[in-house]
Chains A and B, each alone.
Chain A
Amino acid sequence: DTEVTQTPKHLVMGMTNKKSLKCEQHMGHRAMYWYKQKAKKPPELMFVYSYEKLSINESVPSRFSPECPNSSLLNLHLHALQPEDSALYLCASSQEGRRPNYGYTFGSGTRLTVV
């Protein structure tokens, strides 16, 4: 298995809803990432998990709450989002190592629309 699987592929939610994005990989990667990508823009790093511990939080608003229950799963819990949070949310994973020369393997993303 050489894939990162993200569900759902599309999500429409109201500003008062609570929803979760899910990301799964079975490549034995011990680093996982959440990126946010607005239309015609590059992906922006949100969170990095290394060995199931949060190692980087790029000053993301608390309405986004990441969780890494085990080495294969990464969740992003959403609550009280704003319309400007509408974007493509990409999950990625990579091997950990002393020399991080490995690229990331990306999922195909969740297209989120906040209404």
Chain B
Amino acid sequence: AQTVTQSQPEMSVQEAETVTLSCTYDTSESDYYLFWYKQPPSRQMILVIRQEAYKQQNATENRFSVNFQKAAKSFSLKISDSQLGDAAMYFCAYRSQNNDMRFGAGTRLTVKP
């Protein structure tokens, strides 16, 4: 079974600075999909960014980008120019071909003004 590991339970960043959240995963599949989700106190899970494993190019969405290292099974999220509204729980997720999505334990991000 696939496992997703987020080794940073909590991270803190100064407003306008850059922060990187780590994620590693374990799989025997060659084709899969990776995601970062954000869960603010409102409880809604919000998709931040996605990456297809067959694509070499790292995904970017405005201030959010990933560093996808397939051989190392690593998928980190970089948040640039951090804003107060970025404060939330961030979950790394792995989606396999059989349509189930598994989440890491999460990283709580605090943004300091």
Contact = CB atoms under 8 A, between A and B. Distances in A.
Query: Does B associate with A?
Result: yes
A104 B106 contact: no
A42 B106 contact: yes
Interface residues of B, number: 24
Contact of B42 (A31, A99, A104, A108): A108
Contacts of B31: 99
A48 B33 CA distance: 17
Contact of A101 (B33, B42, B106): B33
Interface residues of A, number: 28
A72 to B, nearest CB: 18
Interface stretch (B13-21, B45-53, B65-73, B77-85): B45-53
16 contacts: A42-B103, A45-B101, A50-B99, A92-B45, A96-B99, A100-B33, A100-B95, A101-B50, A101-B52, A103-B37, A103-B95, A104-B47, A106-B37, A106-B44, A108-B43, A108-B44
